[in-house]
Amino acid sequence: MQFNKVEICGVNTANLKVLKEKEKMELLARIKQGDKKARDELINGNLRLVLSVIQRFTNRGENPDDLFQVGCIGLIKAIDNFNIDMGVRFSTYSVPMIIGEIRRYLRDNNSVRVSRSMRDTAYHAMQVKERLLLENKQEPSVEEIAKELGIKKEEVVLALESIVEPVSLFEPIYNDGGDTIYVMDQIGDQNDDRSWLDEIELKEEIKKLSPREKRILNMRFMQGKTQMEVAREVGISQAQVSRLEKGALSRIKGH
């Protein structure tokens, strides 16, 4: 698949505008007031973001024009559902939405056949999951999704597993300011017995870290939180969390 083509879906990618975060927030505020012109401007100003996201699907053999259109649908959904009071960057919120839309498209066109009833259950479960996430500002449990659908939690798990494609932990999701965010960066450490921080023998080096670095490592590896969750609590972007985390770990491992 070629993504270095100048034109995709009639859009000249060489001339795509890139908005600053402040500009995005200003446009989102105007959109909230019903400004349709601001909505169009925000969509056009984030097409390069869509282009960067669809490049991770280069090995699927899909038409880039189709993926770009689907990605734009995800972008529009992100714009319509974004809450400017959440305290997170728009790209941090919109990238998973764009990826989710593309994954749904790929599942619908998957050569592996899944029964219609199971696929419908999975799609309903994902819709409920997205709604509960927006309402409660936190990831819903399988039990909560099952209760909303009126089915057993085992059925929800089986349905969702049936449409999931394997993905590498080192697959890049997004690159923001030179820091690449990988799948593994959005996965929490679920080791409840002992964190690896308790096991390492370099406590003196850990003491040399800044209070913010210590807090980030504690939340990531002892509390099992994702980088996105840490970013919300600390009040910085996910890319900054990734940069601070990797820098701290590199210094510890280096000593």
145 neighbors 131 (Cβ within 8 angstroms):
no
Is 88 in the same domain as 69? yes
Is 248 in the same domain as 203? yes
Is 92 in the same domain as 115? no
Is 105 in the same domain as 154? no
The three-point CA angle 64-74-228 to 5° equals 110
Give the span between the Cα atoms of 89 and 97, in whole angstroms.
13
Beta bridge partners of 182: 172
What per-residue confidence (pLDDT) applies to 193?
43
User: Per-residue DSSP letters for 94-151?
Assistant: HHHHHHHHHHHHHHHT-SS---HHHHHHHHHHHHHHHHHHHHHSSPPPHHHHHHHHTS
Domain boundary among 164, 189, 204: 164
What per-residue confidence (pLDDT) applies to 189?
53
Which DSSP symbol is given to 55? G
The domain tally of the chain equals 3
Give the span between the Cα atoms of 14 and 4, in whole angstroms.
10
Is 83 in the same domain as 148? no
58 neighbors 10 (Cβ within 8 angstroms):
no
What contacts 204, CB < 8 A, 6 or more positions away?
Answer: none
What per-residue confidence (pLDDT) applies to 4?
47
| Nearest one of 73, 54, 14, 18 to 172, comparing CA atoms | 54
Give the span between the Cα atoms of 68 and 89, in whole angstroms.
22
231 neighbors 92 (Cβ within 8 angstroms):
yes
Q: What is the CATH number of the domain that holds 150?
A: 1.10.10.10
Question: The pTM is what?
Answer: 0.44
Q: What is the pLDDT along the chain (255 residues), one digit of tens a residue?
A: 444 445 565 666 666 777 888 888 889 889 888 888 988 888 888 888 888 888 877 666 677 888 888 889 999 998 888 888 877 788 888 888 888 888 888 877 665 555 677 778 888 888 888 888 888 888 888 889 999 999 988 888 888 777 665 555 555 666 655 556 665 565 555 554 444 444 545 567 777 888 888 888 888 877 878 888 888 888 898 888 888 988 888 887 765
Is 124 in the same domain as 58? no
Give the span between the Cα atoms of 246 and 252, in whole angstroms.
10
Give the span between the Cα atoms of 11 and 75, in whole angstroms.
16
Q: How far is CA 82 from the centre of its chain?
A: 13
55 neighbors 114 (Cβ within 8 angstroms):
no
Q: What is the CATH number of the domain that holds 61?
A: 1.20.120.1810
Is 9 in the same domain as 95? yes
What per-residue confidence (pLDDT) applies to 195?
46
Q: What is the span of the domain harbouring residue 72?
A: 1-110
